[in-house]
Chains A and B, each alone.
Chain A
C-alpha cells in the first residue's frame, strides 16, 4: 500500500467521519439550551467535553475532506466554499471549547447568552456546509426546491411532434453545458437555462444569433479544435457529438433559433430528422459517428455472397479481383491490359460474379462491342472502363440497360457524337470520358469529360 492509496482511502472516509462533529456539536447545542431548565441544569457541565469531542472530530473531518478534494473530480468553487466553512466550524468549536476552560474563562468570561447564540450560529453554519457537502457528493440538484416545482416534460411521441428547442436543443445544452451554465452557475456570464439567456449571451457577446452561425459564439466554441483553450465544453468535459452539433447548427441556421415550434412546422428538416430521432431515442443512430459502412449508401440489389470458386479461378487466370466490400460482396474486376487474356476464356467465371461487380476495367484489351455482350449481365455496375479499345457507338446500346452505371470511360475509342446522344434523359450515366474520340468536341473543355 502506498501513500496515495492511504490518502484516497482516508479521503473516502470523509462522508462517514463528518457526521461525528455534526452529532457532537448538535448535542452540545441541545445540552446548552435545555440546561436553562433547572431540571436539566446539570447538563451544562457536559457541554465542554462534548465541544472538545466535536472539535477533535471536526479536525479529522477537515483533514479527510482535504484528501478527498484532492481526488479532483469536484466542482472547484463548491469545494472551496465547503472547505472554508468546514475549517471555520472546526476553529469556532475549538474556540468555544477553549472559552469553557477555567484558565481562560477566569480572565475572559463569555456571557452565557452569547455563548448560546454562538453555538446556535455554529449549527447554522454546519447545516449550510453540510448542504454543500451533500451537493458535492450527490450533485447540486439532489436536494433543491425546484424539484418540488419542476414539471417533467412528456416525451414527444414522434419526431414530427417534437418541439425543436424544448425537446431537442435544450436537453442537449442542459446535458453538455449545464454543469457550468445553469442554475447558480453562469460561467462567463452565460446561462443556457432559457432561450433569452442564449440570445443575451455572456461576456463575449450573444451565444446564439438566429440565422447567423458565424456570429453565434456558442456554435463557434463547440466547433473549435478540442485542443483550443476556448473550446467548449472546457476542462475535458464530454464534448457534443457530431450529431448534436449538427442539430444545433441546423437550429441556429435553418430554424432561426426558434422556441415553441414543432419539427413538422419547420422547413428543410430532412437532414436532421434522423439525428433528432436518435437524440430522442426514437430511432437508431442514423450513421456511425465515424462513418461506418452504413454511412455509405449501398445498392441493395448487390448479392450478399459471391461465388468464391469463380474468384479463385479468375485469379489463377490472371484477372485481378479486388474486394471492395465483404457484405454485400462488392467486387472490382480488372482484365489487365497487355497480358493477352482473352475475354471469352474467362467469360463463364465473370458471368458468375457479374452481379457482384460494381467496378469493371477492361481497358486496353482490343475489344469490340461484339465481344462485350456479357456487359448486360453486370446489372449492378457503377463504373466501367473501356478506354483504349476499338469499340464504337454500339457500346451505348449495350450499357443502356445498366441501371446503376454512373461513369463510362471511352477515351481513345471509336465513339462519335451521335453515340453520346443515345444516352437518353433517363439514363443513370453521369460522366462519359471521351477524350481522344470523335465525341470529345461536344464537351466544353479540353478534358473531354461529358458530364450530365
Chain B
C-alpha cells in the first residue's frame, strides 16, 4: 500500500551523492560526523592556499585555516640556520671563566645530579672539566660575550637575541633533531616549515613556500633525512623542497633531452583535467596535492633558474659572504641563495650545516666549523639588514642540543672532546619581532643546568609560530582520531624576548 513512502525520507542532495563517492576514510569520517549539513565556512578572504580546495579538506580543517592568522604577524618569513650535530656552547656563546681554575677536575655530582649520560661517556671513570680553549670578549653595545672563533658574528651581536637557556628532552642526534624540527622525537610528524606552509599558504605561487638547503662543504658526521622537512600527515604539497647543488637544483624539473617543452602547458592542462576527474571520483587529497605539484613544477621551470642565477650579484656581495659564496652548495653560497629566496617572499627556508658533533678533537674541529660558517652567517645578517629584510624576516641559528662541560676521553688543554648535553645550550634569533642586542637566560657556572629563564624546544616553537601570527595551540590537524599540533600539549610563548 505505502511501499514508496520510505523514499520521502531519503536524502537526495549533491553533497550526499558526493559523499558516496569519496573513499578516503578520513574524509568520509570527518564529513559525515562533523561536516554533514554544516555549511563549510570559507575564510573571510579566501586565502591563497594551494590545495585548500573544499574537495581536499574536511570542514574541520577549513574552520581551523579560516581563523588564521590568529594575530598580526611580526615576521613574514623565516630562515632557520640549523647547525646539525650540536655546536658546543662553551666555545661559542656561553662564557664560563670559572672553569679555567677547575680544568681537569672531576665534575661534582652536585652539578650533574645523576642526570643520564650517553653510552659514549657513561662508563668513563671520571668526568674531567674542560674549559674553553678559546678566549672570549664582549662585543657591541649589548656587551655580549662571543668567542674568538666567531669574529664576524661578534660584529653583528647588536642585531641578535642570544638565548643561552634552550633545553631539549633528547640526548641523541636523531631524536633531538626530529624533536626540534617536528615537535616529536619519533618520526612522522610535520616539520615546522610544513606547518607554516599549511597554515599560511604561500606569498609567491612560483616557488615552494618551504625550501631546504644543505651545505656541501661540511663534514657529514650525522646524517640528515628528508623526513626532517617532511609534511607528515599534512597534505603533500607542504613538504620542504630541497634545492640541490649542481646542474639540477630541483630534480626532474628540466625537460628531458629532445623535448623542447612548447606543449608542456597544454599537456599539463589535460593531465589536470584527468586528475580532477579522478579526484571527483575518489576524493583522495593526494590527487589534489599532485595537481598542485605538477603546476608548481611547471612554474618552477622558469622561477628556479632565475633565483639560482648569481651572476648579476656584484663582487662586493661575494666579498661580504666570503669566497666560498661563488661555489654553489657551500654554506656561504646557500646563505646568499637564502637571501635571494627571501627577496622572492619564500616563507620558510631551512638551511642545514652538518659537522658540529665534536666528541673528540673539539678545539680543531669547532674552529674549522666556525671558519666555514662565521663570515657567511654575519654577512647574511648584514645583507638582510641593509636591504631592510630583517624588518620582517626572522633568522634562527642553533643546533639540536649542546655539549657537556666535561671532556669525553682524556682532558688535554688543547685537545678534548665534548659529549651531547640536552640540559642547556645556546641559540640565537634575529630580525622580525625579537629584541635585538639582547641576552636571555642563564646557565650555572658549568653550563650544565639552567638557573634562569629556561626555554624548552616547544617554547621556542610556540614563539616562532607566534611571530608568524599563529597561536600554536590553535593550528591543529586531526589525524588518526586526535588533533595534532607542532608543540603537542606543551609550549609557552617566550614573551620576554619579543620586541
Q: Does A329 contact B (CB under 8 A)?
A: yes
Complexed CA–CA distance, A321 and B203 (Å): 8
CB contacts (< 8 Å) of B451 on chain A: these are 220
**A448 near B72: Cβ-Cβ < 8 Å:** no
A225 near B454: Cβ-Cβ < 8 Å = yes
The proximity string for A residues 318-362 relative to B, scoring 1 for CB distances below 8 Å and 0 otherwise, is 001111111001101010100000000000000000000011000
Q: Considering the complex, which residues of chain B in the window 52-69 have a beta carbon less than 8 Å from any beta carbon of chain A?
A: 67, 69
Determine whether the beta carbon of A315 is less than 8 Å from that of B48.
yes
**Interface range on chain A (Cβ under 8 Å from partner):** 35 or more
B side interface size, CB within 8 A: 39
Spot the interface stretch: B3-11, B189-197, B386-394.
B386-394
Chain B residue with the shortest CB-CB distance to A315: B48
Looking at B290-298, B365-373, B466-474, the stretch in contact with chain A turns out to be: B466-474
Query: Are the CB atoms of B471 and A324 closer together than 8 Å?
Result: no
Set of chain B residues within 8 Å of A411, measured between Cβ atoms:
386-388
B45 in contact with A311 (CB, 8 Å): yes
The number of inter-chain residue pairs (CB within 8 angstroms) is 102
Chain-B contact segment, one of A291-299, A365-373, A391-399: A291-299
Residues of B within 8 A of A446 (CB): 382, 386
Q: Is B47 an interface residue (CB 8 A)?
A: yes
**Interface check A439, CB cutoff 8 A:** no
The answer on a CB contact under 8 Å between A326 and B385 is: no
Interface status of B76 (Cβ within 8 A of chain A): yes
Contact partner of B469 (CB less than 8 A), chosen from A242, A325, A334, is: A325
Query: Known contacts A306-B45, A320-B204, A330-B72; is A292 also within 8 Å of B471 by CB?
Result: yes
Answer yes or no: B70 CB below 8 A from chain A CBs: yes
Chain A residues in 8 Å Cβ range of B44: 308, 323, 326, 329
B339 CB-CB contact with A under 8 Å: no
* A 374-387 to B, binary, CB cutoff 8 A, 1 in contact else 0: 00000000010101
Residues of B within 8 A of A387 (CB): 387-388
CB neighbours of B473 from chain A (8 A):
290
Q: Give chain B residues whose Cβ lies under 8 Å from the Cβ of A326.
A: 44-45, 67, 69
Chain A residues in 8 Å Cβ range of B47: 323
Contacting residue for A435 out of B45, B386, B391, B493, CB 8 A: B386
Q: Which residues of A contact B203 (CB under 8 A)?
A: 320, 322, 334
Quick one: given A322-B203, A330-B72, A334-B203, are A433 and B454 in contact (CB under 8 Å)? no
Known: A291-B466, A449-B386. A334 touches B345 (CB 8 A): yes
Contact A332 B76 (CB under 8 A): yes
Interface centre among B43, B44, B71, B392 (most CB of A within 10 A): B71
Q: Mark B442-470, 1 if CB is under 8 A from A, else 0.
A: 00000000111110100000100010010
B22 within 8 A of A: no
Q: In the docked arrangement, what's the CA distance between A198 and B415, Å?
A: 48
Q: Which residues of A contact B167 (CB under 8 A)?
A: 225
Instruction: State the majority secondary structure of interface residues on A.
Output: mixed
Chain B residue with minimal CB distance to A213?
B452
Residue B492 is within 8 A (CB to CB) of chain A in the complex: yes
Point out the residues of chain A lying under 8 angstroms from B363, CB to CB: none
Q: Report A-chain residues with C-beta under 8 Å of the C-beta of B453.
A: 223
Rounded to whole Å, the gap between the CB of B369 and the closest CB of chain A is 26
Answer yes or no: A431 CB below 8 A from chain B CBs. Answer: yes
Tell yes or no: B232 within 8 A of A by CB. no
Instruction: A383 to B466: give the CA distance in the assembly, Å.
Output: 19
Q: A407 at the A/B interface (Cβ < 8 Å)?
A: yes
Cβ-based interface call for A409 (8 A): yes
- Measured between beta carbons, the chain B residues less than 8 angstroms from A315 are 48
Cβ contact within 8 Å between B391 and A407:
yes
Q: State how many angstroms separate the Cβ of B299 from the closest Cβ of chain A.
A: 13
Please, which residues of chain A bring their CB within 8 A of the CB of B382? 446-447
Instruction: Tell me whether A110 is interfacial, beta carbon within 8 Å.
Output: no
What separation, in Å, do the CA atoms of A113 and B137 have in the docked complex? 87
Question: Taking the complex as formed, is B495 at the interface, i.e. its CB lies under 8 A from any CB of chain A?
Answer: yes
Task: Flag A148-180 by CB within 8 Å of B: 1 or 0 each.
Answer: 000000000000000000000000000000000
Check: B322 CB closer than 8 A to any chain A CB: no
Closest CB pairs A-B (n = 7): A409-B388, A435-B386, A293-B71, A433-B388, A447-B386, A225-B454, A325-B72
| A residues neighboring B (CB under 8 Å) | 214, 220, 223-225, 242, 290-293, 295-296, 298, 306, 308, 311-312, 315, 320-326, 329-330, 332, 334, 336, 358-359, 383, 385, 387, 407, 409, 411, 431, 433, 435-436, 446-449
B residues touching A (Cβ–Cβ < 8 Å)? 43-48, 67, 69-73, 76, 167, 203-204, 345, 382, 385-388, 391-392, 450-454, 456, 462, 466, 469, 471-473, 492-493, 495
User: What 5 new A-B contacts, CB under 8 Å, besides A290-B462, A326-B69, A447-B386?
Assistant: A291-B71, A291-B493, A320-B48, A325-B469, A385-B388
